[in-house]
Amino acid sequence: MTNLDHGKFSRVTTMFHSLLALTVFILFFTGYAIAFNTELWWLVELMGGNQGVLSIHRLAGFALIALTGFWVPYMLLRSASRSNFRSILPAPSDVTAFVQDVKFALGRADERHPAARQFAGYKADEVPLISYIGKGVIWIFTVELLLLMLSGLLIWRKTWLIDFYDSQSVVMAFVAFHGLLGVIMLMGVMFHTFEHGFHPAFYPVEMKAFLPKEHTPNFHGDPDDHETTGIERLRRKSSWRWATNVMGVLVVVGIVSVMMASLEYGGYPVPDSLVFDEGSVLRTIGINIGIFVLLVGLVLSVFGNVLRARYMRQRRERERPTERTPAADGSGSTRDDGPSEADD
Q: Which residue has the higher pLDDT, 266 or 99?
A: 99
| H/E stretch holding 335 | strand 335-336
- List helix spans (H) across the chain: 11-35, 41-46, 49-77, 79-87, 92-105, 132-154, 158-165, 168-197, 240-265, 281-319
Q: Where are the domains of the chain?
A: 11-206+225-314
Over the stretch 100-148, which tens digit does the pLDDT of each residue have?
888 888 888 887 777 666 555 566 566 666 778 878 888 888 898 899 9
How long is the chain?
Answer: 344
Positive or negative: CA dihedral 331, 335, 339, 342: negative
Class of domain 11-206+225-314: mainly alpha
Over the stretch 170-229, which tens digit does the pLDDT of each residue have?
888 888 888 888 888 888 888 888 888 888 877 888 887 888 877 777 665 666 666 666
Indicate the DSSP class of residue 228. Answer: S
Task: Give the chain's mean pLDDT.
Answer: 78
Over the stretch 235-284, which tens digit does the pLDDT of each residue have?
788 888 999 999 999 999 988 888 888 776 654 445 555 444 556 788 88
Query: What pTM was computed for the model?
Result: 0.78
Instruction: Give percent above pLDDT 90 in the chain.
Output: 17
